Chains A and B, each alone.
Chain A
Amino acid sequence: MLLETSALTKRFGGLVAVKNVDLQIGTHELVGLIGPNGAGKTTLFNVISGYYAPSEGRVVFDEHDLRGWKPHRITRLGLCRTFQVTRLFTHLSLLDNTMVGALCHERHPKRALEVAQWALDQVGLSDRASNIAQGLPIGHRKKLELARALATKPRLLLLDEVMGGLSPPEVREMSDTISRIHASGIGVVLIEHVVSAVMCLCQRIAVLHHGELIALGTPPEIRNDRRVIEAYLGESYANQTECQGPGLGGTEGSVH
């Protein structure tokens, strides 16, 4: 078990954002995390990655209890997260952005440079390495955010809506990238609203609603789960049988 949360709860004053979430992620899984807006998905990520302290419950990563750990320490351990709204270092080049991630494990900038270049290559941004990060279109921003995280040599990636705002071809491209990353041995937990992509990519899907985990299972199970249909998906996904085309299912687009 790579990542495990037990009875994880996060309260903000009177509001319970995450309630009693028990989640187990194995060492090489590709798990989706879906749910309506405000369900607590990003908050869950924030707690796991150390930005918020849990109100109750525990997070255990690689047999370490993450209680009280700062985000950078968690990243060093191998758990890296991206942000829903990209938070790039706008005045730095793409390469330098990625370098910061690479320096997580490489002490010397020369070695880190190689790692950074590799990471940019993985997402297809190599030819723009020297451009400045400011003013990038959303597709590239998301890729850069992913590349940076990749440079930290994670064992588990927490991707927060990394496909948000992307056009269908870009979604396909990102799906392929994530697939490749997973194939190389890195675990991925994916918050997404592009449900079709999640259905095709993920081995398991967790559904969060009002902070609670209301379902956890394989894509077909989730598609046909009554509670999930009512809370979030609607009927349209229940009738899908398999993914069509490279990386994507039939009904394109997202559910909100």
Chain B
Amino acid sequence: MNKIILIQLLVSSLLIGGVYALISIGLTLIFGVMRIVNFAHGEFLMLAMFACYWMVELTGLSPYVTVPFVVLLLFLFGVIIYVLIIRRTVGSPMVVQIFATVGLSLFMENMALVLWSGDYRTIGSFASSAGFSVAGIQVNYALFIAFLVAITVSLLLFAFVAWTYPGKAIRATVQDRTAAQLMGINIDKVFLLTFAIGSGLVGIAGALLAPSYAIFPTVGTNFVLAAFVVVVLGGMGSMTGALIGGLLIGLIETFSGFFIAPELKQAFYFIVFILVLVFRPAGLMGQRGAEEIGLK
């Protein structure tokens, strides 16, 4: 086996893994804090990608310049969706939570179809088509940037959660919702913040991915499968888990795509998904028994 090829695969995996991690962090954050699975996550990503696209179309700026604006847009969108929909599902039975976001996902995907048609759109960018070489290994600029951003964002997020007051409030809420309320933490604000941040994170992901992938209304569903697998693999609610999970999935995808067949990628996710569920339902970093019956 050619060592260069192996290393190339490894590097590509990490880059793609970074992308997956970026997409998944928001999802796992929201679940970890609010115990809500946002089935519309893929559509949020799609929205971000389209936002980037339109901004580029209208202003001619480089997609990387639009990142902060897309983030802001998604952040605000998250706030709106939380207030209108999510807030009402917080205490409700699971049906409500699931179908509310499923409905949202349906709505967003189809409105995009109606407004922007199903045509594939692309944003050309220097970064997406070019790369650099290190010792014979090709590294695509755009993916490299995405990878770096993923790491940076994760670190920032850790810092935020560990050292700032809102971050601590979030952690308190994760550990014990009732106790947090008794300590004077406004749970509603915590949820609002979490959901908005989660949406903003997806915004980053979307804006960074827009140069490299085709953009169309159902693009979300392609990515969200991987995102769910990452989240379950890494442990629902664990951000470290999302990072590690993302990288792992990147590895699995790249290697299986190379050695076996690229079209079967999705089948592999699914198999991994099932295996994780069977052998370790809590995921790699999830608390043992987090998914178990709670007797207290």
Contacts and interface: CB of A to CB of B under 8 A. Distances in A.
A46 interface: yes
Summarize A's interface: helix, strand, loop or mixed.
loop
Contacts of B295: 42, 46, 51, 83
A51 B295 CA distance: 9
Interface in B269-296: 293, 295-296
A52 to B, nearest CB: 8
Nearest to B289: A12
B287 to A, nearest CB: 10
Contacts of B293: 51
A85 B296 CA distance: 8
Contacts of A46: 295
Contacts of A83: 295
Interface residues of A, number: 5
Contacts of A85: 296
Nearest to A43: B295
A83 B296 CA distance: 9
Interface in B240-296: 293, 295-296
A97 to B, nearest CB: 19
Contacts of B296: 85
Contacts of A42: 295
A71 B293 CA distance: 12
Nearest to A52: B295
Nearest to A83: B295
A42 B293 CA distance: 15
A85 B295 CA distance: 9
A42 B296 CA distance: 10
Nearest to B296: A85
A83 B293 CA distance: 14
Contacts of A51: 293, 295
B296 to A, nearest CB: 8
A42 B295 CA distance: 10
Interface in B80-129: none
B192 to A, nearest CB: 29
B292 to A, nearest CB: 10
A12 to B, nearest CB: 9
A51 B296 CA distance: 12
A14 to B, nearest CB: 13
Interface string A79-101: 00001010000000000000000
A81 to B, nearest CB: 11
Nearest to A87: B295
A71 B193 CA distance: 41
A51 B292 CA distance: 10
A172 B293 CA distance: 34
Interface in A37-82: 42, 46, 51
Interface in B162-218: none
A51 B293 CA distance: 9
B89 to A, nearest CB: 19
B94 to A, nearest CB: 14
For the complex of A and B, the 6 pairs showing the least CB-CB separation, nearest first, are: A51-B295, A46-B295, A51-B293, A42-B295, A85-B296, A83-B295
6 contacts: A42-B295, A46-B295, A51-B293, A51-B295, A83-B295, A85-B296
